Amino acid sequence: MSGPLSHIRVLDMSRILAGPWAAQTLADLGAEVIKIERPGTGDDTRTWGPPFITDEEGQETKESAYFLSTNRGKKSIALDISKPQGQEILKGLAKTSDVLIENYKVGGLASYGLSYEDLKKINPGIIYCSITGFGQTGPFSSRAGYDFLIQAMGGLMSVTGEPDGNLGGGPQKVGVALTDILTGLYTNIAALSALHRREKTGVGCHIDMALLDVTTATMANQALNFLVTGEVPTRMGNAHPNIVPYQAFEAADMYLIVAVGNDRQFSGFVEVAGRRELANDERFSTNAARVENREILIPIIREFMKQKTGQEWIDELEKKGVPCGPINNMQQVFKHPQIKARKMQIELKHPVAGKVPQVASPIKITGENIEYQGAPPTLGQHSNNILTEMLGFTKDQIAALKKDKVIDF
C-alpha cells in the first residue's frame, strides 16, 4: 500500500465517530489501521440504523450506513480485552504500533493494564491518543460526553438556530455531529505532530483530546466577540454577527445564499439589484455601517430579492464576483457537476454487499493518489490474519482463543 503514511500502524480502539473519523483519515493517507472491536457486538454504530446496506441478493444486512461512513480502510479484529489473553494480544499489537486511538472513559483502559503508562513500557515511541468528552483532568473529567451534549455545553447551540420569539426559534444542534468530526481532525493534527517530534526524540507521548475543548476552540469569532466585548452572542438564524449581508434570502422561486464579504462585493450586489444608490448610502457603504444598520438594510434586500429567480440571481451575481449559491439537499449535492468533477463519490468492494458507496477523502496532494485500502470491515473480518501474520499464532492457538471467546471472526 502506498501513501504518505504507509509506514505507520494505528490501533483504533475507539467507537462512534470522533476516534473512528481520525483513524479513517489516517487510513486514507496509507496508514495500516487495526480496529479493535468487542466480540459479538463491535462498534456501537454497527447497529445505528436504519438504514442498513443490503447484500447482493437485496436482503438487509446488519451493516449500518453510519458505520460505513467512518471505518473504511481498516482491519477488524474482534478481541475481548477484559480477559488476560485479550490484553496480551493487545499489548503484542501495541508493541509494533505507532499510534493508538481510544475513547474510553478516563481510567477505563488502566483497569485492563492498557493505559499509556502501561503501554509505553513495552513501546516508548507509541503515540497514545485519548478522546473524551471533557478531558483527562478537571472536575468533569469522569463524565461521559456525546457530541449533542457537548454542542450544548460548548456554546455552539446557543448561536445556532432562529432567535427566540421567531417561528421555529430556540437552540438547534448542527445537522451532523460536527464536534466529533472536528475532534477527530484535531486528533490527527496532534498525532502527526507527535510523530514528527518522535523522529527527533525517539519518544512517544500521551495526547489528551476533549470534545468540550475542541468545541470551545472552534467557536472562533463568536468566542472572541464575547471575550472582547463581554456581550453574549445570540442566535441569528442564517445571519452573520460580523458581516452584512451574509445570509439566506428568498428569491422568486427558491432560497439562496448571498455571502457579501467586502464593500466591493456589496457594490456589485446592489448594482445587479438595480439599487446602486445603496452602495453610496453612508448607512451601508462599509461593512461596519451595514452591521450597525442591518435592521434597516435586510428588509430592503428581502424585498428586491423576490424580483428575480434564484438562477437569475446566481448567474448575474457570479459575473460580478459576488459569492452566492443554492441550498442543496444531499441528492443535489451528489448530482452537482463540481462534486462529480472532484470525484467525491466512490464505490468500494464489500464482502457482504458486493459494493458499497463512500464519500471520497477531500484530501488531494500533488504526487500522491489516495488508494483506499478497502471497504469498512465486517466484525472480526481480519481476526485470523492479524493473529497469524502479525503475532505468529498457530491455528490451534487461534481455535482455543475462539473457544474461550477471547476472539471472534
Q: Which residues are catalytic?
A: 180
> Which SS3 state, helix, strand or coil, does residue 101 take?
strand
Pairing of the two strands 255-259 and 324-326: antiparallel
Alpha helices in 353-394 (DSSP H): 383-385
Q: What are the E-state strand segments in 147-281?
A: 205-210, 246-250, 255-259
- Say how far apart CA 404 and CA 84 lie, in whole Å: 11
Q: Are 77 and 34 in contact (CB under 8 A)?
A: yes
Q: What cell was used for 395?
A: 491455528
DSSP state of 304: H
- Say how far apart CA 103 and CA 118 lie, in whole Å: 17
Q: List the end-to-end C-alpha distance of the chain, in Å, as a whole number.
A: 24
Q: What cell was used for 157?
A: 447551540
DSSP state of 309: -
- Say how far apart CA 24 and CA 360 lie, in whole Å: 11
- Say how far apart CA 306 and CA 301 lie, in whole Å: 9
Q: Are 102 and 131 in contact (CB under 8 A)?
A: yes
Alpha helices in 253-357 (DSSP H): 263-272, 277-280, 287-292, 294-305, 310-319, 330-335, 337-341
